[in-house]
């Protein structure tokens, strides 16, 4: 039995333990079920001619069927390509043309988008058909030992952050294993742990924050297709869930519900949060109200995503830190000349280890520009304090130069959010004839009487002039992506509509 065939191991050790629960359909799959279902699907996919290295593109919500697909593809050496179902047909077409899938799987929810795609000779299955095949007891299954190769890609995750064109990141079995170890070491995960996943399948976080580590450890995973703040709180309480991943935006929505005050969440050991800056006051609020520790961290699709973690006992002492590097990886911070920087000096974070991607699908130029001598250049600017704690300054691509000065939007955002009455601030850079680039601030406020002039007056007293945003816009709310990150594309579109 392959050492990476975790499902088969747990099906042997604890066959009747429930591995997966859908809170949408109220179905349960045991580890034995998951093992048998994957074998049946292997048999069906083999008949369809799928071979090692082929791609299966999927346009569907996350759920139990998706996880059966994952186990099946891992056993066959086939690459799973989760597609972002929020994309337009033209955006999806570009991804399909890039990954050239042998099989395309979709759910009925997205039939209109499916019908708009040109798939050529690609085989097509409805997700319901996939489920029929693996539930069909008449399907003859020949049990065998699978050779799961650690270097084989298991996923292609298309990522563009919140700007730029999507790039296909290869995610291997080796990355899966070492990421699971990193996560388990930091949080002490065992077979007794459980999670509730509300994150979408087209992000690495929807798989590799808790889903695959808990499959590795023989834990329990609850699945919910769409995030609903009240429903999530009720499910966490009723099922005594021990681990949960949520973006800061999601946690803010949860604490504002009427349910929040009525439940204890005493089973919840940790909440992992990231993807955006985790405000210290958010950490303090959950600790005060529920005695629950929020552990901020840092990760990216190209590595991990378990890269750094801030120990819960340091969250108050080191506010705004993303923590220290996890166990099985190396990090360094370098300047533009590639030299290591001193403590408290800003530089680009680089990562090396078994959790780093081998590269980008069909994009050797991007691969060679990003991975150099085994080091992944993340494009994230950070600094490390004297105690070894890391702090984000912003994306390399976000930093802009105005009048010869390097300016980090995240620094200005953090400063704006300290001003009285300001709830949220996002700063983007725009081209400017005089200064080269200038800052544009988008702000939401708690005090509706605050004016742009008030903000400028406070900035004048507290922030060096060259860092002041040239334009300041008040918005009712900051636009977000499907996983709760700031949508810089939408903000840019808004700015351009105003300026034109």
pLDDT value of position 249: 86
- Kind of pairing between the strands at 243-245 and 270-273: parallel
Partners of 89 in the beta sheet? none
Looking at residue 67, the DSSP 8-state letter turns out to be H
Domain spanning 6-226, CATH class: alpha beta
* pLDDT one digit per residue (tens) for the chain, 500 residues: 578 999 999 999 999 999 999 999 999 999 999 999 999 999 999 999 999 999 999 999 999 999 999 999 999 999 999 999 988 899 899 999 999 999 999 999 999 999 999 999 999 999 999 999 999 998 877 778 899 999 999 999 998 644 457 899 999 999 999 999 999 999 999 999 999 999 999 999 999 999 999 999 999 999 999 999 999 999 999 999 999 999 988 999 999 999 999 999 999 999 999 877 788 889 999 999 999 999 999 999 999 899 999 998 898 889 889 999 999 999 999 998 999 999 999 999 999 999 999 999 999 999 999 999 999 999 999 999 999 999 998 877 777 888 777 788 888 998 898 898 899 999 999 888 778 889 999 999 988 889 999 999 988 888 888 899 999 999 999 998 877 788 888 998 888 888 76
Partners of 103 in the beta sheet? 56, 123
For the chain, the domains span 6-226, 405-499
CA distance 424 to 445: 7
pLDDT value of position 164: 53
CA distance 267 to 458: 44
CA distance 198 to 245: 8
What is the CATH architecture of 405-499? Answer: 2-Layer Sandwich (3.30)
CA distance 35 to 1: 13
CA distance 183 to 438: 40
pLDDT value of position 500: 61
CA distance 138 to 197: 32
């Amino acid at each position: 039995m392959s050492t990476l065939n975790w499902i088969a191991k747990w099906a042997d050790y604890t066959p009747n333990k429930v591995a997966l629960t859908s809170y949408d359909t109220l179905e349960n799959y045991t580890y034995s079920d998951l093992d048998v279902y994957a074998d049946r699907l292997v048999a069906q996919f083999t008949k369809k001619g799928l071979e090692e290295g082929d791609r299966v593109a999927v346009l569907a919500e996350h759920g139990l069927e998706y996880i059966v697909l994952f186990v099946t593809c891992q056993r066959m050496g086939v690459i799973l390509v989760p597609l972002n179902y929020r994309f337009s047909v033209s955006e999806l077409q570009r991804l399909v043309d890039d990954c050239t899938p042998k099989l395309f799987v979709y759910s009925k929810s997205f039939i209109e988008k499916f019908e708009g795609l040109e798939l050529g000779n690609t085989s097509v299955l409805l997700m319901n058909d996939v489920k029929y095949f693996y539930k069909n007891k008449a399907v003859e299954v020949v049990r065998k030992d699978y050779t799961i190769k650690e270097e084989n890609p298991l996923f292609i995750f298309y990522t563009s952050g919140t700007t730029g064109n999507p790039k296909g990141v290869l995610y291997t079995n080796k990355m899966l294993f070492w990421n699971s170890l990193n996560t388990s070491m930091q949080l002490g995960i065992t077979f007794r742990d459980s999670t509730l996943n509300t994150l979408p399948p087209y992000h690495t976080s929807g798989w590799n924050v808790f889903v695959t580590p808990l499959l590795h450890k023989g834990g329990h995973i609850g699945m919910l297709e769409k995030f609903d703040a009240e429903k999530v709180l009720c499910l966490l309480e009723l099922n005594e869930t021990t681990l949960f991943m949520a973006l800061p935006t999601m946690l803010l929505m949860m604490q504002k519900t009427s349910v929040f005050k009525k439940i204890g969440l005493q089973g919840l050991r940790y909440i992992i949060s990231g993807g955006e800056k985790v405000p210290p006051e958010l950490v303090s609020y959950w600790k005060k109200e529920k005695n629950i520790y929020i552990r901020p961290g840092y990760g990216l699709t190209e590595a991990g995503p378990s890269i750094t973690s801030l120990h819960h006992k340091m969250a108050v002492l080191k506010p705004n830190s993303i923590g220290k590097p996890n166990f099985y990886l190396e990090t360094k911070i370098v300047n533009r000349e590639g030299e290591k920087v001193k403590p408290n000096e800003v530089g680009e974070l680089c990562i090396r280890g078994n959790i780093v991607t081998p590269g980008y699908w069909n994009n050797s130029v991007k691969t060679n520009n990003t991975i150099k001598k085994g080091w992944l250049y993340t494009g994230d600017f950070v600094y490390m304090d004297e105690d070894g704690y890391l702090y984000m300054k912003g994306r390399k691509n976000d930093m802009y130069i105005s009048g010869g000065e390097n300016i980090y939007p995240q620094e200005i955002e953090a400063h704006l959010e300290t001003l009285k009455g300001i709830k949220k601030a996002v700063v983007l850079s725009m081209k400017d004839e005089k200064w080269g680039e200038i800052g544009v601030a988008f702000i939401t406020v708690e005090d509706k009487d605050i004016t742009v002039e008030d903000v400028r007056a406070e900035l004048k007293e507290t922030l060096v002039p060259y860092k002041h945003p040239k334009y300041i816009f008040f918005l009712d709310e900051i636009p977000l992506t499907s996983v709760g990150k700031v949508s810089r594309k939408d903000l840019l579109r808004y700015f351009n509509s105003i300026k034109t």
